[in-house]
């Protein structure tokens, strides 16, 4: 973990939980529900505050893929890695999935070489239905 100027139990609890998700994305609502069941609950305002701080420190990435759904947050093990792939978003359950696919990398290279346009994978999201919602 990277050093923080001020560390609290709640910050460490939130960070530990995010790290344990192993790259999964989570919303404020999901975090609030999780910590409401905890023996030492962390309130919604505190979650917002610490997520903002963790994002500033480079420990958490915030995904806001459209103007309709809630932002998702993800603990970043390797900060540079997320820019290398696209994302899939389920229109029914809201799950956000990392998509690492050589075919899409080829499309990205084609678009750059043939159309002089660089696609930003962090802002490129394919919408559809995940396996569980199909």
Token pair for residue 130? 């995940």
Q: Give this prediction's pTM.
A: 0.60
pLDDT, residue 1, reads 45
pLDDT, residue 83, reads 56
Asked if residue 63 and residue 107 are part of one domain, the reply reads no
User: Domain total for the chain?
Assistant: 2
pLDDT tens per residue across span 25-75 = 888 888 999 998 877 788 899 999 999 998 888 888 887 766 666 788 888
Asked if residue 100 and residue 73 are part of one domain, the reply reads no
Token pair for residue 11? 């910050």
What letter does residue 76 receive in the DSSP assignment?
Answer: -
> Which domain, by its residues, includes 129?
80-134
Domain containing residue 25: CATH number = 1.10.10.10
Q: How far apart are the first and last CA of the chain?
A: 38
CB atoms within 10 A of CB 119: 15
% of the chain with per-residue pLDDT over 90: 22
Token pair for residue 88? 């899939």
32, 100, 59, 36 alpha-carbon torsion, rounded to 10°: 10
**Which residues fall within 8 angstroms of residue 57, CB to CB, at 6 or more apart?**
2, 4
CB atoms within 10 A of CB 73: 24
pLDDT, residue 2, reads 46
Domain containing residue 133: CATH number = 3.30.1490.190
């Amino acid at each position: 973990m990277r050093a923080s100027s001020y560390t609290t139990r709640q910050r460490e609890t939130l960070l530990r939980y995010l790290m344990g998700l192993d790259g999964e994305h989570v919303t404020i609502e999901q975090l609030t529900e999780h910590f409401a069941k905890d023996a030492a609950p962390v309130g919604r305002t505190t979650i917002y505050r610490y997520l903002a701080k963790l994002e500033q420190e480079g420990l958490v990435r915030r995904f806001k893929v459209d103007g309709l759904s809630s932002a998702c947050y993800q603990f970043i093990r390797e900060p540079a890695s997320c820019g290398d792939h696209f994302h899939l978003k389920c229109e029914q359950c809201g799950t956000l999935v990392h998509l690492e696919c050589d075919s899409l990398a080829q499309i990205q290279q084609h678009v750059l070489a043939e159309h002089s346009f660089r696609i930003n994978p962090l802002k490129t999201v394919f919408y559809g239905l995940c396996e569980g919602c199909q």
